[in-house]
Structure 1
């Protein structure tokens, strides 16, 4: 029986939705920095209609859990929780940094990705990801939020050529040009739900789901409050 997972992401300027049905992915994506709330549900309706499915017929609902824009992450998880509650679907949170890595692999086939999302406040959300034989991604650096100048000091050279991915490379190009690692161009700048849904399938197969009331964001900054859903402790 085909696995059916819906994924949505609003953690960055990009607003995207994807529906995985077996090996087929239906997707919508648009860069709309201030219109996520207007765009996301029509995108959900569009991919479900294209696939000929109802929300209640799906197996799980995946979402970009962050890091990313605080408002964007909250919008995404709030809408995802609402849909999951209504259809009684389990949820799967996927790192937006891992989604960047998957997107870069989809575009370039590079298996070593240096992900940097512009976190504002002179910082980047950072992680280096390496693709494993089974298609999953392993973070060789722990996901973090860090000033580019500090990242330059802490990052040691290795023998890997890392493909640059994310908005942080352009936003802090001068500082990050001093990194001692070898890098190449060609990655993607923004995460997409079509890559989130691919990664969500791995978590689904391992049984790594949560109930809607327990789904939570990852901000990486400690000074951000998350308004809990009813019933959350």
Structure 2
């Protein structure tokens, strides 16, 4: 087994290879505006560091968000294109779940929450009993609106680190890693558990709205 994992749902453009036992290579760059430019070169770098060819990949793993539209679509479109070209499956995982998995590996014990930066003074977040068990659906809110319900809990991720007044026990890791995404996927494959479809998880209300009480123009 050789899994190629990618995630572009956060400012981190991250790629990893997992051979079914461990991560064999990982490359990450943090740049919120260059997902499209960075992802393919990082995939190439990761494959070369592992001494592997793209044709050896047996499955794709992709973070489905939540995340901003443009960056999130880069990873999903790339993963689906590679999977189609190689004739291999593509598995979707919630990006917040991968961040929680990484937080557990860094010693964050449950219950805890994770939060990523959703911009516009909001965070994408979810609550966990432990590094593998999410207890709430992913959501997007202003930090002050959820500070009370997360009071006393460690909160991992860039969303927590950006708002220490609302999340006083903010923890790392700051960004998701494809290594965590791939490791979690390898566990799920071994256990035979289900994945999410490789579709973007959008939580924010659309900016474009149909005007209310707009004027109707009728022909004479």
Task: Please tell me the TM-score bracket, short chain as reference.
Answer: 0.7 to 0.9
Aligned partner of residue 208 in structure 1, secondary structure? coil
**For the structure 1 residues 224 and 4, does the alpha-carbon distance in structure 2 shift closer, same or farther, using more than 3 Å as the test?**
farther
1:187 aligns with 2:172: yes
Aligned partner of residue 181 in structure 2, secondary structure? helix
1:150-189 aligned at under 5 Å gives the runs: 150-153=145-148, 155=149, 162-174=153-165, 176-177=166-167, 184-189=169-174
Aligned partner of residue 63 in structure 1, secondary structure? strand
TM-score scaled by length of structure 1: 0.78
**For the structure 1 residues 10 and 94, does the alpha-carbon distance in structure 2 shift closer, same or farther, using more than 3 Å as the test?**
same
Larger radius of gyration: 2
Tell me the distance in 1 between the aligned counterparts of 2:64 and 2:30. 18
Tell me the distance in 1 between the aligned counterparts of 2:170 and 2:74. 31
1:165/1:189 contact within 8 Å kept: yes
Tell me the distance in 1 between the aligned counterparts of 2:94 and 2:103. 14
TM-score scaled by length of structure 2: 0.82
2:5/2:181 contact within 8 Å kept: yes
Task: Using the TM superposition, give the Cα deviation of residue 217 of structure 1 relative to its aligned residue in structure 2, in angstroms.
Answer: 1.0
Count of residues paired in the alignment = 206
Task: Using the TM superposition, give the Cα deviation of residue 187 of structure 1 relative to its aligned residue in structure 2, in angstroms.
Answer: 2.1
Q: Which residue of 2 aligns with 1:17?
A: 15
Q: Which segments of structure 1 move beyond 4 Å, counting only runs of 4 or more? A: none
Tell me the distance in 1 between the aligned counterparts of 2:42 and 2:144. 39
1:30 aligns with 2:29: yes
Task: Using the TM superposition, give the Cα deviation of residue 63 of structure 1 relative to its aligned residue in structure 2, in angstroms.
Answer: 0.7
Gaps of 5+ in 2: 209-220
Gaps of 5+ in 1: 178-182, 226-233
Considering only aligned residues, what root-mean-square deviation do their CA atoms show, in Å?
A: 2.4
